[in-house]
Amino acid sequence: MNRQYLKLFLARYRSSALLVLAASVFMNVLVFAGTIYMMLVYDSVLPSRSIPTLVGLFALVVLVYLFQMLFEAIRGEAMLAVANGVHDDLFSAVHHATTTRPLLAGPDKGDGLQPIRDLDAIHTFLAGPGPIALFDLPWVVVFLIVLACLHWWLGLTALAGVIVLAGITVWSNSRTTAATRELQTVIGQRSAAAQAEIRNAEASRAMGMQDRLVARTASWEGMFLDTQSRLSRLVSRFGGAGRTFRLFLQSLILTVGALLVIDDKASGGVILASSVLSGRALAPVDQAIANWRGFVAASTGWDRIIQSITVFRKPQPRSIVLGAPSGEFTMRDLWVAPPGTQRMTVQGVSMTIKPGQALAIIGPSAAGKTSLMRAMLGIWRPNRGEVRLDGATLDQWDPEDLGRYIGYVPQTVELVEGTIGQNISRFDPAATSEGVVAAARAAGMHEIILGLPDGYETQLSAGGVELSAGQRQRIGLARALYGEPFIVALDEANSNLDAAGDLALANAITDVRRRNGIVVMITHRPATLGPITHIAVLAGGRLSDFGEKEEVMKRLAAPPAGKGKPRPVGSQKEATA
């Protein structure tokens, strides 16, 4: 799969790569102009003392250097276009894989942002001098041949130097690859620990946990510094060794050239020419060593990205688009385990909800209620069984299309940085003011929003911390009701609501039922069961009771066989909490 993607990108950017290759050919050919100029000046101009010849040669070499500068700019822009193009091509797939992975495979040990960092590493490498060095590497052979043509001792000396530098490069690769991978892992885990500090800032401050959390993060910080220092030492030492040997080799070639001149086997111009050519021959190898860390980071990042976008691939758009659902919502023998685990939190649940009905899912903590809802909405993939909406399994819908027909209020409502209006409209670029206001009215938030300083244009930071927990929950309800979705799923959507909020929630459920939609609600509060038509009782992940609200409530209130008087319905909260 890696090779397939590589071939695809090589084919897509073949024209840019050919442009870089052509520019590199012209640049490296023009390098000989400087060498020839030095030889002519030393061997012809100085003996003849001809000023016009010197001026003419100098004008030509200036023109050559201008062309070199032009070709350098051309290949730099071409590589930048490749870097930006690869980034744009991979961006959507990488972000889809990043957000989908925890839903299918469970949370990452780090902060979950490694694929995004890998994409940045690839872009940085492609836009930098590293790829240019790779394009120049084949020219090392050409310069060695030219040196050998000047004298075979010069070619042999330069060849030995290239072999030594190549050995340094290979050794550098073997030592830095493992250290680079370890550093990326430590960076992710350090970032995750820091994010945990931020998420728990309130609780840690109130309960005196800050120093302990900082100490916990400090352990990752120490590992980061150790790994970073080890990698930096390796890169610095190998880079320094390469640069030092390159300088030594140039001096060695000068020495060999001087011996040839003394032995009358070469002219004085050959000494200068061999020095310039040897430096040019070794420059790509030296540059490759200097950029090896970026190359390793990009290479390992590429492997991880390809693996990630292959496993968590975005589904192709369907050629047949299903219409708006209006029929039954059915679960058949549903078995669900949280992503990344094999522990079944939902076991063999089957039920059918018809349009116009409102279902409350109740049961004790850890009964599997939230797991069931996530599987019902397609957030988690069932391990066994199926969910059908209007006769079609959920995977027969495009996720974006299906999302328009679903409204969801999770246990913890997270708002996105932007305006209140944008959050309610789900950041729909085609949203209308009427639709946003209608959703806010349906959630009983219109008047409250108007009371804010900028109304619907009030800016929220990430998480919406400017609002109270109850206001965030009701904004989340308005977002769920935006566009009048067919299914409205509420996971304890009343946990932070007051009496007015409970009334608004009941009215919203009634409105959904009135327009023949479906409501599925998880609740621990019997006061919210007013507009509910059906109840499903979960216990230990299994469906222990299901039916119309009044019948289920009677069965729940009835005493077990051989026990005393029935438990009053008013104590239902204790039974399902």
Q: How many CB atoms are closer than 10 A to CB 377?
A: 20
Residue 205: Cβ within 10 Å count = 10
Collapsing DSSP to helix, strand or coil, 307 comes out as helix
Round to whole Å and give the CA distance between 113 and 99.
9
Which comes out higher in pLDDT, residue 26 or 387?
387
pLDDT tens-digit series, residues 383-397: 999 999 999 999 898
Write the burial class of residue 228 (CB in 10 Å: 0-12 exposed, 13-18 middle, 19+ buried). middle
Most confident of 108-112, 241-245, 421-425, 490-494: 421-425
Q: Please choose, from the candidates 149, 152, 139, 148, the residue with its C-alpha nearest in 3D space to the C-alpha of residue 29.
A: 139
Can you give the C-alpha Rg of the chain in angstroms?
35
Query: Residue 162 CA to chain centroid, in angstroms?
Result: 39
Q: List Cα–Cα distances, 337 to 103, 515, 547, in angstroms.
A: 11, 34, 25
323: buried, middle or exposed (CB in 10 Å: 19+, 13-18, 0-12)?
exposed
- SS3 (DSSP) at 349: strand
The pLDDT of 293-313, averaged and rounded, is 84
Token representation of residue 372: 């069931």
**Which one of 135-144, 196-205, 333-342, 526-535 scores highest in mean pLDDT?**
333-342
Q: Specify whether the CB–CB gap between 392 and 376 falls below 8 A.
A: no
What residues are paired with 362 via a beta bridge? 537
Phi and psi angles of residue 333, each rounded to the nearest 5 degrees, phi first: 45, 60
What is the rounded CA–CA span in Å between residue 281 and residue 22? 18
pLDDT tens-digit series, residues 519-565: 999 987 776 788 999 999 999 999 999 999 999 989 888 776 555 54
This prediction has a pTM of 0.73
Greatest mean pLDDT among 7-16, 314-323, 546-555 lies in 546-555
